[in-house]
Structure 1
Amino acid sequence: MSTNSPLLLVLSSILLCGFLTKITIAFSIKEATIDDLQLAFKRKHLTSRQLVQFYLKEIRKLNPLLRGVIEVNPDSLYLADKADQKRKAKAPGSLLSLHGIPILLKDNIATKDKLNTTAGSFALLGSVVPRDAGVVVRLRKAGAIILGKASMTEWAAFRSKFLPRGFCGRKGQGRELSHVGWSRPMCRTVRDAVYVLDAIVGFDYYDNATRGAAKFIPRDGYKQFLKPDGLIGKRLGIVRNPFFKFYNDEGSVKTRAFKHHLDTLREKGAILVDHLEISNIDEIINFTGSGEYNAYLAEFKPAINAYLKQLVKSTVRTLADLIAFNKKFSNLEKTKEYGQDTFEAAESLRGADKLLKIAVQI
């Protein structure tokens, strides 16, 4: 959730669902890929405005149950019209793969538009960011339409160890699960994910971590590695313990789903090294014992304070302000039910730099 804060976590996702029918074709948006949509644009079977209108209708219909979208972009139809106009004016094949494609961003990715950026918290509702996050700059340049903000576990599950996954003050309890991570695409197909990845990777002036990483980006992007036979001969390790604890239940939905995907990998030529054991796996996944928790605590306070300080407009400017807000509006943020112990632990730290060095050494 940032204009490129290295701490707060982001996730971008493409919403593809439902059905749109025209007289000439029956076009399944639910199963459509980016290539399918671009072909429909090219053949004039579909416009970006029609696509956005359909998604907005689906959001209105499904969101009361799923609570997956925290807000939609009031300018989404205007942006769709601009994409359609540019498509008419440009030569065929001259536009990028994401042109006119609607994309949802997690609510911790900063957008300098009419959308809020709140990490799911009422504390930042109405705040104004100074600029688009780096990934948003790149998505806009690629022609993508920012459709809205997806809901998320509030503050990327960092407010409290007891905060349910998928809960945020602004939208309540959602149906998704959040995990610690970074900016990455979430799409229906690998090809779609690669199109988004190619659009968002690269050096960002406001994110020093990208400076060194940018040199490892392939010259012609990642699309060149999309090969139908790409799995042949690839060795993949399957670590069942402790991640597949449900696997003993052969009739469970999870077991059947994982078995199906593992079988598919084998059919495509991958060599699966099954039941792979990692000797110190318990230590690795121990969030507190490994020192990972201390590292997060040490980083969080200075990072969030720096982020809040740079906001053009905000009622909170420090982590202490956030904690006070949550206490004052506990009915909105469910602070009494779920607490904010992680926030409070980070706020109480002194000598955070020393703690961070110790945590990294561990």
Structure 2
Amino acid sequence: MSRTEFPIKEASVHEIQIAFQQNKLTSRQLVEFYLTQIESLNPLLRSVIEVNPEALFLAEEADRERNTKSPISQSSLLHGIPILLKDNIATKGKLNTTAGSDALLGSVVARDAGVVAKLRKAGAIVLGKASMTEWAAFRIKLNSKLFTFGLKTYRNPYVKSADLGGSSTGSAVSVATNMVTLSLGTETFGSILCPSSFNSVVGIKPTVGLTSRGGVVPISPRQDTIGTVSDAVYVLDAIVGFDPYDAVATRKASKYIPHGGYVQFLKADGLRGKRLGMTSYSFFSFPNDSENSHAFELHFNTLRQRGATLLQGLDIPNFDAIINSVFNAQHIMLRAEFKLSLNAYLKELLTSPVRSLADAIAFNKKFSVLEKIDEYGQDLFLKAQKTNGIGELEKKALGNLTNASENGLQKLMKDNMLDALVTPLTYDFRHVSRVLAIGGFPGISVPAGYDHDGRPFGICFGGLKGFEPKLIEIAYSFEQATKIRKPPSFGS
């Protein structure tokens, strides 16, 4: 392996691009470094399912483009940068797309997912596939320790027994441990924001439709979104926009994309003049009697010192009743949407061992030992299979979700003229991800500290549809002022 004196660990995209320009680093050297990291760390952490056998070839091609000053190498911040993709994001070629399940091993997709096509166009190098909770944790009731095929279980790099947060765990862990520069994850509710928080990296969950879901193994077209967990804004700029394979949602959300992209909102003084709301409702309140309370008090002071106004103790009218209806209504809708959207996805595959949810259920029964059916079961699969489209029950549930969104977060933010809702993202406080999910709203998780066991926790800035510019300004300013993140030391 060729060596470089450039310190790759913890290097940002911007720093790597400068090293490229100054001939201190090549894309091949960068990829070789990450392959070595994966070889060393992945047996313990199991956050990478497979590596792209063409990665070094793609790196050398990027180096040639840079040497000849091709237009893409001169214009794209992602040119020559390796990225890992959650394994429910389709890739055409030698990599599998399995959603973490043996049932999809060997399936052949018709094309790259829309976001992957955009990344390739930007010159990024697809390094491989990140592990994920099987079927994005929708085979059984949420259990972030559920296995992914071939690897079976994976670990938190800070405290190996700690909660991993959600199904995009491999994407978050791979960035946290310097196995890759960038990664993509997906979120239906919590699967970007929580793994980012619990692995001490930045995660952006965009407005639903801002990034295409075309070519992504689905749960819910109403809630699914594609996001990123490191150098997040550069990736967001590359992957937003219209995709004919997710035409309705991406066309509708395109009105939110600002002229000039999102990089312009990386402002160190981005907190100045912002109105930040903090609700009194217990699910979203910051801990006031725990070991983390002191850290958050310091963060509140930082927010104020940077020019933000904090509105504390805000109430969401009738929110007790609203939140109680949300969880049941959400699962009613998700089960019906999952069956419809998964069946549609599977039918479009060029080759696949399974062609429907019913086939996947039968596969799990046939290979019950492999799929650990006796240990985990497949209760959500079975409940989803019993649904029959969007009927009266689902329409009533959707009405409850719409009411919860309109009379909950939307009303709170509009009545108080908020730029963002601020909430904790700790092991005990994570329900904000559900509230953002039901409205298709964006959120950004930023590292906020570590508890006495060394487990990371985050702070979340959430907003309404299209609030990404405000959230980026707020999150970036907070991150630059605090710089909480530290790499893991593989605690026990």
Structure 1 and Structure 2 fold alike (TM over 0.5): yes
Matches within 5 A, 1:192-211: 192-207=231-246, 208-211=248-251
Counterpart of 2:423 in structure 1 is none
Q: Give me the CA root mean square deviation.
A: 2.3
- Supply the distance in 1 between the matched residues of 2:353 and 2:53 (Cα, whole angstroms): 23
Secondary structure at the aligned position of 1:228 is classed as: coil
- Report deviation, 1:240: 6.2
8 Å contact 1:169–1:333 — kept in the other structure? Answer: no
Alpha-carbon displacement from aligned partner over 1:17-56 (angstroms, at most 9, x marks no partner): xxx974xx5x332321111000000001000111111111
User: How far does residue 352 in structure 1 lie from its aligned partner after superposition?
Assistant: 3.3
Aligned-residue sequence identity (percent) comes to: 58
Matches within 5 A, 1:215-294: 215-239=255-279, 241-243=281-283, 247-251=287-291, 254-255=292-293, 258-286=296-324, 289-294=327-332
Any gaps of 5 or more consecutive residues in structure 2? Answer: 157-163, 167-189, 192-223, 401-492
Q: Is the 8 A contact 2:97 2:107 kept in 1?
A: yes
1:82 aligns with 2:61: yes
For residues 259 and 128 of structure 1, do their structure 2 counterparts lie closer, same or farther at Cα, with a shift above 3 Å needed?
farther
CA shift, 1:263, in A, is: 4.0
Q: Deviations over 1:264-309 (max 9, x none)?
A: 3333222222343334444454476551111111111111111111
Alpha-carbon distance between aligned partners in 2 of 1:307 and 1:325, rounded to the nearest angstrom: 17
Tell me the alpha carbon deviations over residues 208-261 of structure 1, each in whole angstroms, 9 at most, x when there is no partner.
Answer: 21121113211211122222211112111234643467824543xx54554454
1:95 deviates by 2.9
Correspondent of 1:164 among 133, 143, 150: 143
In structure 2, relative to structure 1, the CA distance for the partners of 1:224 and 1:245 (3 Å cut) is closer
Query: Among 212, 217, 224, which residue is 2:252 paired with?
Result: 212
Residues 1:48 and 1:289: Cα distance change in structure 2 (over 3 Å): closer
Matched residues in 1 for 2:32 and 2:91: separation? Answer: 21
Distance of 2:116 and 2:88 partners within structure 1: 12
- Relative distance call for 1:121 and 1:281 in structure 2 (3 A) is farther
Deviation track 1:304-324 (CA, whole Å, cap 9, x = no partner) reads 111111111111001000001
Name the residue aligned to 1:15.
none
Determine if the alignment matches structure 1 residue 125 to structure 2 residue 105: yes
Change in Cα spacing, 1:169 to 1:281, as seen in structure 2 (3 Å) is same
AA in 2 matched with 1:60: E
> Deviation digits for residues 96-143 of structure 1, max 9, x if unmatched?
000001111111100102111111111001111110000000000011
Supply the distance in 1 between the matched residues of 2:43 and 2:324 (Cα, whole angstroms). Answer: 36
Residue 177 (str. 1) matches residue 165 (str. 2): yes
Q: Where do residues 344-355 of structure 1 align in structure 2 (5 Å cutoff)?
A: 344-355=382-393
SS of residue in 1 equivalent to 2:304: helix
AA at the equivalent of 2:225: W
Which position in structure 2 is the counterpart of 1:14? none
Say which SS state the counterpart of residue 273 (structure 1) adopts: strand
CA contact (8 A) 2:278 2:311 kept: yes
SS state of the match for residue 135, structure 1?
helix
What TM-score does the superposition give when structure 1 sets the normalisation length?
Answer: 0.85
Q: Is the 8 A contact 2:335 2:384 kept in 1?
A: yes
Match for residue 46 of structure 1? 25
- Deviation of the 1:358 alpha carbon: 2.5
- Contact 1:299–1:356, Cα closer than 8 Å, also in 2: no
Moved more, 98-107 or 166-175: 166-175
**Shift in CA distance, 230/288, structure 1 to aligned 2, threshold 3 Å:** closer
Q: Distance in 2 between matches of 1:38 and 1:250?
A: 42
Instruction: Say which SS state the counterpart of residue 74 (structure 2) adopts.
Output: coil
8 Å Cα contact 1:288-1:294 kept in structure 2: no
Does residue 148 (structure 1) correspond to residue 128 (structure 2)? The answer is yes
Alpha-carbon distance in structure 2 between the residues aligned to 1:152 and 1:263:
37
Q: Output one character per residue of 1:148-199: Cα deviation in whole Å (capped at 9) or x when no partner.
A: 11111111111111x5214233122223321255201111xxxx21111010
Residue 61 (1) aligns with residue 40 (2)? yes
Alignment CA distance shift 1:160-1:266 (3 Å): same
Structure 1 residue 136 corresponds to structure 2 residue 136: no
Native 8 Å contact 2:279 2:285 kept in 1 = no
Corresponding letter in the other structure for 1:193:
A
1:338 counterpart residue number: 376
Q: CA 1:68–1:289 in structure 2 vs 1: closer, same or farther (change >3 Å)?
A: closer
Output the CA distance in 1 between the equivalents of 2:302 and 2:10.
19
Corresponding letter in the other structure for 2:226: S
Quickly say closer, same or farther: Cα 1:351–1:228, change in 2 above 3 A.
Answer: closer
Report if the CA contact (8 A) 2:278-2:285 is conserved: no
Q: Distance in 2 between matches of 1:136 and 1:214?
A: 18
Which residue number in structure 1 is paired with residue 468 of structure 2? none
Deviates more, 1:239-248 or 1:334-343: 239-248
CA change 1:155–1:229 in 2 (3 A) is same
| Maintained 8 Å contact 2:53/2:94 | yes
Separation in 2 of the partners of 1:66 and 1:185? 20
Is 2:342 the partner of 1:304? yes
- Counterpart Cα distance in 1 of 2:122 and 2:137: 31
1:360 Cα deviation from its structure 2 partner: 1.4
